[in-house]
Amino acid sequence: MQRVVPWLALIARLVVGGVWIAAGALKLPDPAESVRAVRAYELLPEAIVPTVGYLLPVVEVVVGVCLIVGLMVRPMAVVSSVLFVAFIIGIAAAWVRGLEIDCGCFGGGGVEEGASSKYPWEIARDVGLLAASLLLVWRPRTPWSVDRFLFAADAGEGFDPDFDSDFDQDPSDDLQPDVNLEGRV
């Protein structure tokens, strides 16, 4: 089990990172549309709506790229978790208030007929991605990450408990004990 976690976390990194890059990149071309999508939720004061609208796609792409390359995985996973919690609240609030809006998750946004029928699926998706993000907050140390090159692994508990975990430095070793003996009778 202990040896599986880093690989699960690697998958979480790539999936969550990929989703963030797609979501952010689709919103970057039209900042005004992104602002309108934020406004459509009717949750934030108008004074900060434009800033949030400009900032969100940028943060999404940055978090996505960092997760994919494995840079500052734990802080990025914290930001990712916070964003998913915010989105779940936003969609749930729209649902409760009977707003029919396209979530604007991957660009677009605004009213859409029948949009509310998608809310449950959108919330389920975000809950899944939140769980994957939390896994990375718990176990940020994964194979194939920039963090492994940047940060010393022997800094002790004061810096990052996972650096002392049983997970050893050579990722290829970790696969061996987990290789399933399927097919070998």
Partner 1 sequence: MAKNNAGKNERSRAARQAAEIRREAAKKEARRRNLAVSAVVLVAIVAIVGIALAIQSGRDSTGASATPPAGAVGDFGVPRGDADAPVEITIFEDFMCPVCGQLEALTRDFLEPAVDNGDVHVIYRPVAFLDRYSNGTKYSTRSVNALAAVLDQSGPEVAAAFHDLLFDNQPQEGTDGLSDEKLIDLAVEAGADRDTISAAIEDRAFGQWVVNATDQASKDGVTGTPTVEIDGERAEGSIAEVAAAMKAAIEAASK
- Alpha-carbon distance values, 114 to 39, 108, 120, 123 (Å): 19, 15, 12, 16
Kindly tell me which residue out of 9, 16, 23, 39 binds partner 1, with binding defined by CB under 8 A. 39
Rounded to whole angstroms, how far apart are CA atoms 34 and 110? 10
Write each residue from 124 to 143 as x if it is in contact with partner 1 (CB under 8 A), else as -, in one continuous string.
--------------------
Give the amino acid at 124.
A
Q: Quick check: helix, strand or coil at residue 101?
A: strand
Q: CB-hemisphere CA count at 13 Å for 115?
A: 22
Please report whether residue 48 would count as binding partner 1 according to CB under 8 A.
no
Q: Are strands 110-111 and 101-102 parallel, antiparallel or unpaired?
A: antiparallel
Does 101 engage in binding with partner 1 (CB under 8 A)? yes
Total binding residues for partner 1 by CB under 8 A? 45
CB-CB contact of 110 with 104 (8 Å): yes
- The yes or no reply on residue 120 touching partner 1 (CB under 8 A) is no
Q: Is 82 in the site for partner 1 (CB under 8 A)?
A: no
> From the list 25, 160, 165, 171, which residue makes contact with partner 1 (rule: CB under 8 A)?
160
Binding residue for partner 1, selected from 4, 11, 32, 175, defined by CB under 8 A: 32
Q: Is the dihedral of CA 10, 13, 14, 16 positive or negative?
A: positive
Positions in the binding site for partner 1 (CB under 8 A) = 28-33, 35-36, 39-40, 42, 46, 50-51, 54-55, 57-59, 61-62, 66, 71-72, 75, 99-102, 107-113, 150-152, 154-156, 158-160
